[in-house]
Chains A and B, each alone.
Chain A
Amino acid sequence: MTPLLEVRNLHKYYPVGRNSRLKAVDDVSLSIQPGEVLGLVGESGCGKTTLGRVILSLQPATSGEVVFDGIDVLSLQGKDLRRLRRRMQIVFQDPYSSFNPRMTIGAALSFPMKVQGMHRGNEEERAVELLNRVGLDGSVLNRYPHEFSGGQLQRIGIARALTLDSDFIVADEPVSALDVSIQSQVLNLFKDLQEELNLTYLFISHDLGVVEFISDRVAVLYMGRLAEIAPTEDLFGDPRHPYTQSLLAAVLHPDPTLEKSKPSMAIEGEISTPIDPPPGCRFYGRCPKRMDICRVQDPPMVSIGPRHSAACWLHA
């Protein structure tokens, strides 16, 4: 099957000062099949959000390719890019900041359709239809964002991402700003919509539980580099990269006795910096299994199973 989205050797560097560069995304390659949910996990500042923004062409890439359904996204401009935007949308982390405080919900939902010239004259009907789909009703059309709770507003954010009948959605930490009790409702909504509309998600989160629940496959990002990518069961059941192993070990178990008996794999050591990083593996300073080669040479991405790869010299 041809993938819906293919990212090839994507780099995004930010200039820092005169001669330095912050390598936010460093040589990332991955692909997403149509109808698939790819979870993207990693700690704060590892480049998850930047990767999502570059894929949507909201930020220019330094180099690399993003191919969406056969179209080279990064080379598109003006009209062609605007046309492609119908197919890929985004849901943001903070629902309050993702809505213009001076626009009613009705206006916010009609706006994408007006920009794209879709559902002309029926924008409001379409907005109500989408609101129903996410569990709200048309009475909210004349209200302003500040009148809603975070969970409600995030539902509206999801409705907005559906206004253009997009098939690919980047969900950028869409539940991290919500209460735990609301998180599961919104997550279920994501899952239901994905199944009903056969959507494809790039689901970004730092919460392993959330990613495990929603994803078909999971990619682990560390300092702008892909550490490991595998189907969800494989990644959680048989993690191969030391970073993934440490991440999973850090998840607290609900049973305190079990939690105490769990072998500790706390990540120690120095965190290297994404600004002009030294050669070698990014995880070198913190890796419990580091070897000499790790300091001098970047580990290549090696295939471990049929759809399982990790970037680690242990497996090379």
Chain B
Amino acid sequence: MHDTRTISRTDERPPDAAGSDDAVAETDQVLSPTRLAWKSFRRSKLGLVGSLMVLLLIVIAIGGEQFSPYDAYSMDSSVSLEPPSLAHPAGTDRFGRDQLTRLMEGTRISMLVSFVAVVLSLVIGIPLGLIAGYYGGLAGTVIMRGVDVVFAFPTILLALMLVATLGASLPNLILAIAVIFQANVVRIVRASVMSVKEREFVEAARAVGARDSVIMAQFILPNVLSPVIVQATFHLSLAIFIEAALSFLGLGTQPPTPSWGLMLNESRTFMEFAPWLTIFPGLAIIFAVLGFNLMGDALRDAFDPRLSQR
């Protein structure tokens, strides 16, 4: 991050669109729109904090219980319901399992659910949104009515319904979250496509005889991705939240697999005399949701041309 200042020139075009004809950018640095957004993103302190939080979660998710001397599943009744101590920084649960280890293992579940669900929602939503936005017509109408159906229900309730219908399991939970999110992705992609396809560079591509598929892939898709990326970041945090909520209700992760929501649920009975069992999973959820949201906010600002042009 040492070079932020040295390449500070040329991050904006001449003030007037048709300004002086000889003001070519003289730096060697090629500043693609993505790079400009990245530069602006790095300037955001909160975004940096959020990214570090997310990075930490990813590292923990990859390492899981390997970072801990304990095993997330082995029980030891001699240390049941121990309060936080040096040996067990987050205390132990009813079966004497180290809670910090279980939280780490739970990170893996939460991140797995949210990343897989979000990627799946993009894989479904982006093509549908492109078709609905580019062609419109009957296909567009059918796709958008499907989206309306998803939007007709409150998010958590719909997730609950889908999982209850499909059966409570982790893959079904991921599928349910992806189905809900893709509706949002379709809407965002469609709206962006509809505005981008009216731009003259699309007409220029048609005027040289490019096929629709080429126009969509090379001219439209790259210009609709930024709002999608921003939305996907917010979806990551929402997915963690939904996973926790459904697991809390017993419809997500099944015991003994540790999941933040499930741990909250299991701790309810001991809330009065073992509050650490409730507090730490709650903090973990807050930490993850906050991290992704901070990152998302900074990304949104970075991709917003009005805000980043300074």
How distant is the Cα of A150 from the Cα of B21 in the complex, in angstroms?
Answer: 8
Q: State the total of A-B contacts with C-beta under 8 angstroms.
A: 113
Q: Which residues of A are found within 8 Å of B34, using beta-carbon distances?
A: 102
Q: Is the CB of B208 within 8 A of A102?
A: no
Which residues from 141 to 155 on chain A have a C-beta closer than 8 Å to any C-beta of chain B? 142-144, 146-152
Known: A144-B30, A149-B23, A182-B18. A90 touches B209 (CB 8 A): no
Cβ B33 vs Cβ A89 within 8 A: no
Give bound CA distance, A227 to B153, whole Å.
Answer: 58
Q: CA of A179 to CA of B219 in the docked complex: distance in angstroms?
A: 28
Which residues of chain B (172-230) have a CB below 8 Å from chain A?
Answer: 199-201, 203-210, 214, 218-219, 222-223
Interface centre among B17, B18, B24, B32 (most CB of A within 10 A): B18
Per-residue interface assignment for chain A, residues 67 to 95, with 1 indicating a CB less than 8 Å from any chain B CB and 0 otherwise = 00000000000000111011011101110
CA distance A123 to B267 in the complex (A): 67
Give the complex CA separation of A92 and B22 in angstroms: 21
Cα–Cα, bound, A160→B201 (Å): 11
Say yes or no: A143 contacts B30, CB within 8 Å.
yes
Contacts of B209 in A (CB 8 A): 81-83, 85-86, 115-116
For A103, the chain B residues whose CB sits under 8 A away are: 218-219, 222
- The reply on A20 being an interface residue by CB < 8 A is no
Q: Are A92 and B203 in contact (CB under 8 A)?
A: yes
Taking a contact as CB atoms under 8 Å apart, the answer to whether A149 and B19 are in contact is yes
Closest chain A CB from B189 CB (angstroms): 16
Q: Does A56 contact B (CB under 8 A)?
A: yes
Q: Which of B8-16, B71-79, B163-171 contacts A (4 or more CB under 8 A)?
A: B8-16
Is B25 interfacial (CB-CB < 8 Å)? yes
Dominant SS among interface residues on chain A: loop
B207→A58 contact, CB < 8 A:
yes
For B21, the closest partner residue in chain A by CB is A151
Contact indicator B30/A90 (Cβ below 8 Å): no
Given the known interface contacts A58-B206, A102-B34, the answer about A147 and B222 at a Cβ–Cβ threshold of 8 Å is no
Is the CB–CB distance between B218 and A92 below 8 Å? no
Taking CB atoms, residues of chain B closer than 8 Å to A89 are 207-208
Query: How far apart are B93's CB and chain A's nearest CB, in angstroms?
Result: 51
Contact bitstring A35-73, B, C-beta under 8 A = 1, else 0: 000000000000000000100101000000000000000
A116 contacts which chain B residues (CB < 8 A)?
Answer: 208-209
Q: Is B48 an interface residue (CB 8 A)?
A: no
Q: Are B32 and A160 in contact (CB under 8 A)?
A: no
